[in-house]
Amino acid sequence: GGGRRQTVAEWLDSIKMGRYTELFLEGGYSSLDTVAHMTSEDLRRVGVNLAGHQKKIFSSIQEMRVHLSSRAVDI
Partner 1 sequence: MTSNGPVIVYEWLKTLQLAQYVESFVDNGYDDLEVCKQIGDPDLDAIGVFIPHHRQRIHDA
How many residues line the site for partner 1 (CB under 8 A)?
Answer: 11
Residue 53 binds partner 1 (CB under 8 A)? yes
Residue 44 sits in the site that holds partner 1 (CB under 8 A) = no
For the CB of residue 56, give the shortest distance to partner 1 in the complex, in Å: 3
DSSP for 3-61, written as a single string: SPPPPHHHHHHHTT-GGGHHHHHHTT--SHHHHTT--HHHHHHHT---HHHHHHHHHHH
Q: How far is the CB of 2 from partner 1 (least distance, A)?
A: 24
Within positions 10 to 29, which residues make up the interface with partner 1, using CB under 8 A?
A: 16
